[in-house]
Amino acid sequence: MNRFGYRMFKSAAMIWCVWSSLLTSYELIRMKIPETVYLYEEEAMDVLAGSDTKIAPEKLYLDFAGEVELHEKMIGSYTAVCNLFGMIPLKTMEVSIVSKQELIPGGIPVGVYVQTEGVFVIGTGNIETENKLLESPAKNILKTGDYITSIQGVKIYNKQDLIRNLAQFEGEELVLGIRRNGESIEVAISPVLSENGAQLGIWVRDDTQGVGTLTYLTLDGMFGALGHGISDADSELLMEVSGGKLYDCEIFDITKGKKGMPGKLSGKIIYSASNLYGDVRGNVSGGIYGKGNFHLRENVKNKSIPIALKQEVKEGEAFVLSAVSGELKEYQVKLEKVYNGNNDVNKGMLLTVVDEELLSLTGGIVQGMSGSPIIQDGKLVGAVTHVLVNDPTRGYGIFIENMLDAAE
């Protein structure tokens, strides 16, 4: 390569490096901008330092002086188009103006029982027929995550309905109504006859239960818990539920977390009217939600505190409210990272347990602590959601505004 060619190659390489650097910086800035921003009425708050924002309609405007400030005097939702240097489009986000809100932090253990909306298909398998042959009638017809909602037009609510109606159509080709990825469809399937009668060759589930932690109560008795949805233990898919119940729960054992082996809370749930806390009405990625009764409100003795919006949460000292010891206490944690623009709503904060008492008791964060309120500067900022398997002293949390958004 001659000198001229070398210079051309060097110049092209430099241009490519600069261009790649600019693209990387652009993407990093874009990722930091949240999809949704909540602001308090008649207040200005930082959204993202160093970015210009042009906003319509006219009632929503901004001042730019090193930081982006959004001002609004009317409650509602607006669309903001964020531009870099006032020219390069970055991202469109939703800006919601809200009134200040207070919630009653929970922290107490709860037992959760939910029923699926339809019969949940875990998977398919082989059936030994009357002729001692192995057949799989549901293979390539039903899929993991399907919900069986009817047989021959007859509504199906649970496993008992499925078994009872299946027995009426021995040997016949059936039409099953199923819900797959939110869409209702029909499929044809031919059961096989075994020693136990007509079989479809499927593993199913119609309910589930577990132990978690109450995150909050609203002033009118609505609750949020867990900080994440209830998923099927086998498929790890979020379960679509028709309803459920929230119960009082007594923790009788704690398995401490170790590296590579998360700990857990073992609790006793007594399914009785005297232990009932309320009705579960929703199961979404941001938690479970419902209406609490007098018994729940009587057992949550905390006073209401303000909530913190995402932009108010900062790295540093915070507290987790938990009753793992049998007594409701605040345990010190450190918020290591705050991810305002993270698309995973369950991982808005990275936290580390630094409280010696909690470390001695549980080893850090354990299963069953999901939903434990996180409090910083006297405000409810979110809830614990996950533990890091390789380090039980660390885990993730969800912003309280994301939980409230999911509850709507």
d(CA 147, CA 177): 8
Contact in structure between 94 and 34 (CB atoms under 8 Å): no
Choose the catalytic residue: 161, 206, 248, 355: 355
The CA dihedral of 121, 124, 128, 130, to the nearest 10 degrees, is 50
Is residue 370 part of the annotated active site? The answer reads yes
* Burial category of 19 from C-beta neighbours within 10 Å (exposed 0-12, middle 13-18, buried 19 and up): exposed
Given the DSSP bridges, would you call strands 287-292 and 88-98 parallel, antiparallel or unpaired? unpaired
The total of other beta-carbon atoms located within 10 Å of residue 79's CB is 12
Concatenated DSSP letters for 246-306? EEEEEEEEEE--BTTB--EEEEEE--SGGGEEEEEEEEETTEEEEEE-HHHHHH--PPPEE
d(CA 211, CA 293): 19
Sheet strands (E) in 136-240: 147-151, 154-155, 174-180, 183-189, 192-194, 197-199, 202-217, 222-225
d(CA 54, CA 83): 7
Choose the catalytic residue: 228, 248, 322, 386: 228
Is residue 232 part of the annotated active site? The answer reads no
Is residue 355 part of the annotated active site? The answer reads yes
Choose the catalytic residue: 322, 370, 372, 386: 370
Token reading at 69: 């400030």
| Residues with active-site annotation | 228, 355, 370
